[in-house]
Amino acid sequence: MVILDLDSSLYYALDPVGARIFELLQGPTRLDAVLETMLAEFEIDADTARTDLLALVDALVAQKLVEARSSGAP
């Protein structure tokens, strides 16, 4: 998957796991739900999945490709 940031005209490439995570993040969702889905769909241990998920989310937030909200935010 390739993501185009329309504001900066930069492209970001994601592998299949990253693409699935990005897909799951398209609607309001909790990261623990994304983690559960990743563990069910891919052969990966929980610690690695959690670390990789948080790293990708941090990168996507830093590039303003996704927005993070606290669980109490509307």
64: left (phi over 0), alpha (psi -120 to 50) or beta: left
Range of the domain at 50: 17-67
The rounded radius of gyration (Å) of the Cα atoms in the chain is 13
Position 41, amino acid: E
What is residue 65's predicted lDDT score, i.e. its pLDDT? 84
Neighbours of 59 (CB within 10 A): 13
Q: Give the chain's domain count.
A: 1
pLDDT in tens, 9-27: 777 888 889 999 999 998 8
Is 43 among the domain residues?
Answer: yes
What is residue 56's predicted lDDT score, i.e. its pLDDT? 93
Is 21 among the domain residues?
Answer: yes
